[in-house]
Amino acid sequence: MDQQRLSAVLAEFASTLVGDFSIQEILDRLTRRVLEVIPSDGAGVLLLDDEARLHFVAATDDRILVIEQLQLELGQGPCILSYESGESVVVSDLSKETRFERFAERALDEGLGAVASFPLRLDGRRLGALDLYSRKVQELSAEEIVGGQILADVAAAYIFNARARVEAAASAHMLRHRALHDPLTTLPNRALLEDRLA
């Protein structure tokens, strides 16, 4: 793994703290840039939504999105196991995988040889998983596995911050609305009238 590329990707993610990037923009960036750090043919992200449901929200291409969705349909796969266990799941050769045989068989049919999944985790909470796919059988080095988990952990922190920003904006909007509208009728109140007249 190229340490300079990892540093460059981490530095780019640091810019999201001062920017107003959405969660989708963060995840789209992550799936594109992780391929520069860890050799893979595609990447995707599984995320827990506000209603505690898992869904796939980002993929490098439509083919990867189909493979990602397949895991939810089958109820098994490396990203689900990674999310549930909170640990990295690395499958160097899908033809020898026994933990999720139905997924492995379908992934092989789609032309995949290896998968690696890293949990998106923050302070004991799991937000989802980052998945990397390779067409050929591939053994990741210990350094690449650590690098993948670092990127997943950093992305989890930025996702948490982006969600907090969205929640803060929604709360501010709700407070402003309450201050300017009657709580019973929701009609504009005197404060809003005076604001508009001013």
Least-confidence region, from 63-72, 81-90, 129-138, 173-182: 173-182
Q: Which of 137, 162, 141, 131 is nearest to 50 (CA)?
A: 162
Contact 189, 180 (CB under 8 A): yes
Indicate if the pLDDT at residue 153 is higher than 80.
Answer: yes
Over residues 36-53, the pLDDT tens digits come to 888 889 988 888 776 667
Task: Outline where the chain has alpha helix (H).
Answer: 3-18, 23-37, 62-74, 78-85, 101-109, 142-180, 190-197
Indicate if the pLDDT at residue 67 is higher than 70.
Answer: yes
Over residues 166-177, the pLDDT tens digits come to 666 666 667 676
Mean pLDDT estimate for the chain: 81
Angle, to 10 degrees, between the axis of helix 142-180 and the axis of helix 3-18? Answer: 10
pLDDT at 15: 65
Domains in the chain, please, with CATH?
3-162 (3.30.450.40)
The more confident residue out of 191 and 85 is 85
Place of tokens 């089958």: 74
Indicate if the pLDDT at residue 159 is higher than 70.
Answer: yes
Q: Which pTM was predicted?
A: 0.75
Percent of the chain with pLDDT over 90: 26
Determine the Cα–Cα distance for residues 174 and 107; give it in Å rounded to an integer: 46
